[in-house]
Each structure stands twice: as structure tokens, then as C-alpha cells.
Chain A
Amino acid sequence: MKEVTDFDAIVVGSGMTGGWAAKELTELGLRTLVLEAGRAITPERDFVEHKPPWDMPFRGLGDRRTVAARQPTQSHSVSFDEWSHVFWTDDADNPYSTPADRPFYWFRARQVGGKSTIWSRQVYRLSDLDFEANVRDGIAIDWPIRYADIAPWYDHVERFIGVSGQAEGLAHLPDGQFLPPMAMNCVEQHVKERMRAHFGRDRMLTIGRAANLTVPHLGRAPCHYCGPCHRGCITLSYFSSINATLPAAQATGRLTLRPFSVVRSLIHNPQKNRVTGVHVIDAVTKTDRVYTARIVFLCASALESARILLNSGLANSSDQVGRNIMDHIKWGGANGDFEGWTNRREIGERPNGIYVPRFRNVASRHPDFIRGYGFQGAASRGGWGDALRAPGIGAALKARVAQLGPWSMSLWGFGETLPRPTNRATLHPTLVDRWGIPTLHIECQWSDNELAIHRDMNVTAAELLESAGAKNIEPSSSVPSTPGGTNHEMGSARMGRDPKTSVLNGWNQSWDVRNVFVTDGAAMTSSGCQNPSLTYMALTARACHYAVEQMKRGDL
């Protein structure tokens, strides 16, 4: 049978946003081709969250030599381990460069599902504190949208993906369509109450808002608390494109999913100023293929989508493609011990922690920095991991290994990054990937504002723990994370109000080439401090509906 090569829509990428584009566009009636650079994933075969450590060659310590040779960058991700390493790219096949003194971690996932399989599932809405931030501070450019524009789309996405969380009524961290929240443990509950007594609502603690189900939802089972979500989930209990959006798209009968399809560039018709299709290199045979469509959605992840635009020489009259790269700065925070509750323990592995919403520069003004940060963390009791270097041998050591440690609580900040044009990815003049496609040179570093935020995290995390009566409080001694290291890279094809200073309009649509949409993290005009995937998904769904309306009106 001859392969179909012409579609109504092409979506590049099958992860967080590609899955949403596939679902929305097919449900709106478009015959849609999803191109994925990597392999297909079969949950029954590839999801390994229940594989115990004794079935792993290195018991969870990882294949050190192979990782050093093939995944030295990817292995820095917090969700990279001996089980999940197959969900990250091979660094040797997928090179990029940075200045020697300014590393940037570009974490990449090339398989169906993309990074939606290995994400941390924390979902928080942005608010007008974020959408108005640039114009209020007089930096960069204004977002072309406000909270009211995206709020219905947050609802739309949350209702489908399933978000467990607690409504708190905060204006700057809007509530969503929540399933029942996960439980706090006894120490977290205590800290929450003590913080309320000490700080009122200025600094508060809530259970993390997580795309993990607490009740059955749209045919998916609730979480069974096995713990390592990033290795997959055979019960489909957290949101990923494999678990939810791609099956929904498949059910329409209008989805064609093509793995092993590396997109080299978009094909442009200069007479009509439209993209007519996509130039693909088959990942296995390395042969060229062309697929055509009326519209193209780039959902390849922020830097990959920018790379495709740069390799296409398109949509960049503003010279903003590849610029304004943001992430979230982390590794500031603190840890403290809690006396008591020695007769209490956690049972099960909760795939979620607590959240302290941003409190800096909300109602007051901090002298050292603009914007702010939120804390994520958890209280827990130490286990055998703390006894690996304990003194003693024999029965005494065995008893020590089995002993639960004291309760302690950690808070880790996630700080907003400012958009700056000099934090930039450009096409490397000579370096290419395994498929001969020019790759990126990335120059990115924190500014004084991010570094001031990072220092402040240590101070306030210690204050919060102290207010709750923690002992042995230790502020973080970690240096700031490496840019990219939080895996929240964004901003490389930003939305705006003016074609001269932005790549996309308020509908994630290219100003220059109207049938190209970019709906992954590239579109972000500022970073907020919230985990961003929910916003990417909402922007994607919103852009899909806009695009189809435009097509129906004959404007696309």
C-alpha cells in the first residue's frame, strides 16, 4: 500500500504538547500526521516502574561506563536512572555545543511520548502577576495574552489530564479543576499549621498539584503509590501523551503517528508565503522524505523547535528565534529535622510533594530582585540509604539499616528567570547530529537577578522551617543549578504583540508564515516560577482551536 504523505495538519513531536495538538486537531476533524524522531513505545514492554532493583544489572546504580560514554549530559537530569535512561537521548548521536565556561544542560527525549513520560508532573497555573510582569517591570516585551485568555484552556486541559490538588483561593496561583488532593504526612501537616500561625496567608503551604490521579478518571486508574513515575506507568495513572492524549487522537481514526522521523526543516513556498510541508529524515534508513499539510505545529520542545526554524531559515524576521532562553534556577533551599512522630511512618511512595507558592514581590517589593520563586519539598524519615556508611558490623549494623531515621523536611526553590536576548541558541557552523542536521550552539548564563533569587531561597527556606520548629536547620550549600538543568527551557520563539520583537502572535502563530504554529515552551514570553508544562498544554489546545477556526473561515 502506498504511504499517505498529504495531511491536513502535521505535528512535529509527540510529547507534552505534540500529544495535545494531535488530540485537539484530530477531534476537530483534521487528518493529522504526528512526526516523532524516536522509537515507538509500548507500555506493556517499555514501562518498567515495577521492575525491582534486583532485576537490574547494577541494582539502580546505573551502567556507569556506558552513561559516561553516551549520556554524560542527560544523566544530570533528576529523573535519569538505570531504568529511565532509555527515555533520554544519546548525547553522542545528538551533540550540541556551549562555551567551555558556560555549560547548559539540554535534556532531550526522543521516543513517542517525549518528555511527558519522564516529567515530574507538577502543574501550576500562571496568573496575571506573571502575564503582566514584563510590562510592569519594563523589561523585554509584554505577553500578548492575559489570564482571562488562557483560563478556559487551563480548565480544558486539567479536566482531561486529571490534576490532584487543593484549592486555596490565591489570586497569584489560581485554583484549577482539581481531583481530590494527595495526603500530607504528619510532619507536613504540622509545618502547614505552624506556618499559617506564623505567616498567615503571606507564606503558605499546600499539597503539590500533580497530574497524578487520586480517583479513576476517564478510563485511567488512580495512583497506586509505587513511586518511580518516570519509569512509566502501566496503570496510566499519571498524565503523559502515551497514557492519554495520543490514545484519544488515535480513537478519532484521523491520526497517523510516524516514529523514527527526524524533522530537518520546514518546506516553504515563497510565492504563497506558506509552509507546504516538512522535510523528514528517516532515523533508521537516513533517507529523505517529504510530508505535506495545510498547517504545521512545532511541538518538538523549546530548543528543538527553534532549531527547526533556524534550519529552515523561516519565521525569524524579528531575529528572536533562539533568543531569550529561560529555565528555572534551583538548588537553593534548606533542610531541617523534626523531633517527635517517632511512632509514625509513611507507607507507600507518594509521587508528589508539598508546594509553597511564591511570596516574594507579590504584595511587597524585595530590594534585591524582581519576580520570585516557589518551594517544592517534602518531609520524610530516613531509611537504609542513610546507613550505607554507618559504622559497625554484624547484628548491630543490620539493626541500624532497618531503623527509621528522624523526620526531616527539605524545601527546594524554583526561581523565575528573566528573558534576555543574549541567552541564545544559534546554529553551529559545522557540528551536525547523526543525521547530518546542523545542531545548536547554546550560550546561556544566570543574571544577577536569578543569583539574588537563589541566595534568598536559602534564607527564607530556613525561616519557614524555623517557624515550624525544625532543628538542625541547614541552608543549602549547593551552587545554583546549571542553566537548562531544571528541564524547563523555554522562550526561544516568544509570543508578543509586535512582529518586530516577537516570533509568534497571541495565538502561537508565526507572524511571518501564518500556517506555522509553535506551541511548546519556545512560545513563553516570561518564565514565571511555576512548573510550565500545564501552560504549554493550555496554549497548545487554544492554538489548535484557533487554527481550525481560521481554516474553516478560509484564512488558513
Chain B
Amino acid sequence: MERRELIQWLVATAGLQTLDTLDASDLLALGRDVHRSGGTRALSPLAKNNVSVAAERILPGAGAAGVTPFIDKMLADWYTPDERRRFLAGLPELDAKSRARAGLDFLACGEADQIAVLTALDDEVTALRAARGSAANQHWFAMLKYLTVYGWCTSEAGMRALGLFPLPGRYDGCAPV
């Protein structure tokens, strides 16, 4: 990456107003940190990759529509520390369940095994919802799925696919489907 490009990226990802106050070693350290995290703030590089792949499997197109940065933003700035910890503590279940099933980490698994792992987690949440209603929303996988669906439906790609964007500029209360 070119230095100029790196600085622009740093400004964008770390939200710095100015880099004037940083000396060369600060810049290098910051660059290493941002590289290591892949530009995310709450998600580690591994967590980020797991979330990206899981999101794509949960809702095809979600990864390309950029739900991972949205999920990272929500974890960093919206959820409570408890909620964030619950999510981040639950996420390694992807690897644990994948190893139990296929002997491989989640990212190393083939698509079929990844889908099987996610389906098992979804079934777990569905059973929890049947037993405990909206308390199931606190499950880390329920959080991931909610953020994935919400993130896609509010992305440009998602809203175009759902026919919600661009706006029609008129009202018809009885239009053919």
C-alpha cells in the first residue's frame, strides 16, 4: 500500500481528524494496528473473517453489501459492553462446532459444513425462542443474524434488491405485485 493511500485509509478507518500531531513511529505503530485488525475496531482479524463468511452464508449477498463494517460499528459504538462481550465470547463457537463436525476451523470448512454449523446455531435460537420468547434475542447468534439481515436490508444493494430504492416518486395503494 502506498503511504498516501495508507494515510487516507487511516483517516477513514481510525476517524482521525489530522495526522499532523503524530510522529513517524506513531504512524508506523498505528499502521500496524490497523493492518492487524483489518480496519475493524471491535472484531479481531479472525473474528472479522468469521463474521464476513457467516454473514454471507446466513444471507447470500450480505458480505458483498458490507454488513461486516456495520456489525463492527454496532459492536464498537452501539451495544453495551455486556452485549459486546456476549457476542465476542460466542463467536468462537463457530470454530468449536466446525472442529467437532469436520475437524477444521470454520473458515477452513467447505460451504456445506459451514451451512450445517450455522443451521445448528439457528435451530438452537429457534428452540430458545419457542421456550423463552424475545429473550432469545440475547443469544450471540441471534445478534449476528439480526445484524446481518438488518445490515443487508439497509444497504444500497439490499434496498435495490427489495425494490425500496430508488424511490418511485408516486403513491399507488393498489399496485400489482
Contact = CB atoms under 8 A, between A and B. Distances in A.
A202 B114 CA distance: 61
Contacts of A341: 174
Given A393-B119, A398-B60, A225 B149 contact: no
Contact of B154 (A59, A65, A225, A394): A59
B156 A388 contact: no
B160 to A, nearest CB: 10
Contacts of A384: 149, 153, 162
Nearest to A182: B171
Given A188-B173, A393-B145, A53 B154 contact: yes
Contacts of A52: 156, 159, 165
Interface string B105-137: 000000000010011001001100100000001
A345 interface: yes
B151 A59 contact: yes
Contacts of B74: 58, 61
A342 interface: yes
A225 B171 contact: yes
Interface in A320-368: 341-350
A343 B115 contact: no
Given A65-B77, A393-B119, A401 B171 contact: no
B172 interface: yes
Contact of B173 (A64, A183, A387, A388): A183
Contact of A401 (B57, B59, B78, B173): B59
Given A384-B149, A393-B122, A401-B149, A350 B58 contact: no
Main DSSP-derived SS at the A contact region: loop
A58 B165 CA distance: 19
Given A389-B137, A392-B122, A393-B118, A224 B169 contact: yes
Contacts of A397: 58-59, 149
Interface in B145-161: 145-146, 149-156, 159, 161
Nearest to B146: A388
A185 interface: yes
Given A52-B159, A392-B122, A401-B149, A350 B171 contact: yes
A393 B171 contact: no
Instruction: Choose among A341, A343, A397 the residue with the greatest number of B CB atoms under 10 Å from its CB.
Output: A397
Contacts of A395: 60
Nearest to A393: B58
A184 interface: yes
A346 B175 contact: yes
B61 interface: yes
A401 B176 contact: no
Given A393-B58, A393-B119, A395-B60, A402 B170 contact: no
A344 B174 contact: yes
A65 B83 CA distance: 13
A270 interface: no
For chain A, give the interface size range: 35 or more
B177 interface: yes
A380 to B, nearest CB: 10
Given A345-B177, A347-B168, A350-B171, A391 B161 contact: no
B86 interface: no
A401 B172 contact: no
B175 A345 contact: yes
A57 interface: yes
A350 to B, nearest CB: 5
Given A59-B154, A388-B149, A394 B57 contact: yes
B100 interface: no
A347 B171 CA distance: 5
Interface string A201-235: 00000000000000000000000111000000000
Contacts of B125: 391
A224 B74 CA distance: 32
A344 B171 contact: no
A231 to B, nearest CB: 13
A467 B137 CA distance: 37
A68 to B, nearest CB: 10
Contacts of B175: 344-347
B119 A401 contact: no
B155 A401 contact: no
A394 B61 CA distance: 10
Given A50-B167, A347-B175, 7 more contacts: A346-B174, A347-B171, A349-B167, A387-B149, A389-B137, A393-B118, A402-B161
In the complex, the 6 A-B pairs of residues with the closest C-beta atoms, listed nearest first: A185-B173, A348-B171, A53-B154, A186-B174, A59-B154, A225-B171
Interface of B: 57-61, 70, 73-74, 77-78, 115, 118-119, 122, 125-126, 129, 137, 142, 145-146, 149-156, 159, 161-162, 165, 167-177
Interface of A: 50, 52-54, 57-61, 63-65, 182-186, 188-189, 224-226, 341-350, 383-385, 387-389, 391-395, 397-398, 401-402, 404
6 contacts: A63-B78, A346-B174, A346-B175, A393-B59, A393-B118, A397-B59
